[in-house]
Structure 1
Amino acid sequence: MPDSALDQPAAEPKDPPLPGDVPGAADCTPAHPVYIPTKQGGKYHFAVGPSNSNYNGTSRTAKSTFTSEVTAEVGVAVSGDLEVSVNTLINEVKTKFHVQVSAKMTAKLGNSISVDTPSHKTTHAKYGVWRLMHTGKSYYLHQNCTASPEHTVVSYSPYHVGWYLWES
């Protein structure tokens, strides 16, 4: 042992690090709910009011005009055990997928659309709110860095008011 080491005091034993004391470690305090979006699904239309249709029995293309008959507010729909608020879910989805979704949107009375209906076809129209589907996982992170069981959550978040049109 070198002489210089004899002059040094012995190092005191250290307590194990606490959560948050280790750089890069998870910070679990305070305990909090967590939502992590994992997948973006398709676009789904939530109709407000009745479905409309117009049959063109002529030999030429005809103009069909549809007008919304009700006003309604459409919000986020969630299936599964969501541990966080809907606003937190919305913010996480916006951040992960770079989309503009809202907690709720209003489809208003009197909105009209005109479309061409081909000869001997029927144009159908529904007015409402388009929603994006997202799948994610939600759980509660405890102060000691243990977590409750993960729940799969499927949500439908409003992103656009408009018409759903199809022909038959």
Structure 2
Amino acid sequence: MISRSLLVSITAVTILGTAGSAAFAESAEVTPVEESVLQPGPPPEEEEGFTPAPTDEVPELPPTPSKPPANGPSSEYCGPSKNIYRPNANLGKYHAGVGAAQANYNGTSRTARSWFKSETGGEVGVAISSEVKVSASVVVAEVEAKYGVELSAKLTVKVGNEIQIDTPPKKTTYGKYGVWRMKNTGTAYTIYSNCTTSPKKTGTTLTPWYVGWYLWER
């Protein structure tokens, strides 16, 4: 025998009817959410080689030169060592989901209304490739300045956010809640205190932009 509480839980994530009004069996407040854009497929898996950006700046120690730097005597001091990241190419936004994806199959001959509710909370921060040595705050500042957007070093995904979407006949709609991040490639290097610089490399960053749903259909 299925308990009443289990029926309520199942109802919250299954088809809630056609275009008419729908409501949870529980009398919880519903947070208004804009409809997200339906994507052609599931979010891509995050590429290997990315790690969380450090909170604090930890520049590498300057190498011991075999001869005085070309731009000055070996005793010249250029200030504390500093890691640099200069973004130069915006690769668009990528979704980092928190928790499992939810799905709803419409086996009827009419369009149905699916209702998803986030069930897992967590935090998503700045991710960097191995070539980038800067802190999260530096990545945010550089990318914001380059593209004139407002980003964050870390965003919190909360439990309870809800969204509704139409599910066509004989189709399955999927939803995943998380953080949209801006992906950029740029130049990464270190300026040392003895006025030398490390070799410049191309590095990639993923910077939190806003919290939202990723929806797709099959």
Alignment-derived partner of residue 86 in structure 2: 36
Separation (CA, whole Å) in 2 of partners of 1:92 and 1:133: 13
TM-score after normalising by structure 1: 0.79
TM-score after normalising by structure 2: 0.61
**Contact 2:173 / 2:217 at 8 angstroms: preserved in 1?**
yes
User: Following TM superposition, by how much is the alpha carbon of 1:86 offset from its aligned partner in structure 2, in angstroms?
Assistant: 1.7
**Contact 2:88 / 2:187 at 8 angstroms: preserved in 1?**
yes
User: Following TM superposition, by how much is the alpha carbon of 1:40 offset from its aligned partner in structure 2, in angstroms?
Assistant: 0.8
Letter in 2 for 1:83: K
Question: Is structure 2 residue 201 aligned with structure 1 residue 151?
Answer: yes
**Contact 1:51 / 1:125 at 8 angstroms: preserved in 2?**
yes
Question: Is structure 2 residue 177 aligned with structure 1 residue 106?
Answer: no
Deviations 1:66-124 (A, max 9, x none): 00111110011111232332211110110011121111101110111011111111111
**Contact 1:133 / 1:155 at 8 angstroms: preserved in 2?**
yes
Alignment-derived partner of residue 77 in structure 1: 127
Structure with the largest fraction of strand? 1
Q: State the number of aligned residues.
A: 143
Alignment-derived partner of residue 43 in structure 2: none
Alignment-derived partner of residue 131 in structure 1: 181
- The 3-state SS of whatever aligns with 1:84 is coil
User: Following TM superposition, by how much is the alpha carbon of 1:43 offset from its aligned partner in structure 2, in angstroms?
Assistant: 1.2
Alignment-derived partner of residue 87 in structure 1: 137
**Contact 2:139 / 2:207 at 8 angstroms: preserved in 1?**
no
User: Following TM superposition, by how much is the alpha carbon of 1:143 offset from its aligned partner in structure 2, in angstroms?
Assistant: 4.4
Separation (CA, whole Å) in 1 of partners of 2:121 and 2:193: 45
Alignment-derived partner of residue 66 in structure 1: 116
User: Following TM superposition, by how much is the alpha carbon of 1:144 offset from its aligned partner in structure 2, in angstroms?
Assistant: 5.1
Q: Which has the larger radius of gyration?
A: 1
Separation (CA, whole Å) in 2 of partners of 1:164 and 1:32: 37
Separation (CA, whole Å) in 1 of partners of 2:109 and 2:124: 40
User: Following TM superposition, by how much is the alpha carbon of 1:152 offset from its aligned partner in structure 2, in angstroms?
Assistant: 2.0
- The 3-state SS of whatever aligns with 2:202 is strand
Q: Equivalences for 1:155-166 in 2 at 5 Å?
A: 155-166=205-216
User: Following TM superposition, by how much is the alpha carbon of 1:148 offset from its aligned partner in structure 2, in angstroms?
Assistant: 0.8
Letter in 2 for 1:70: T
Question: Percent same amino acid among aligned pairs?
Answer: 49
**Contact 1:80 / 1:151 at 8 angstroms: preserved in 2?**
no
- The 3-state SS of whatever aligns with 2:144 is helix
* RMSD over aligned Cα atoms: 1.7
Letter in 2 for 1:29: C
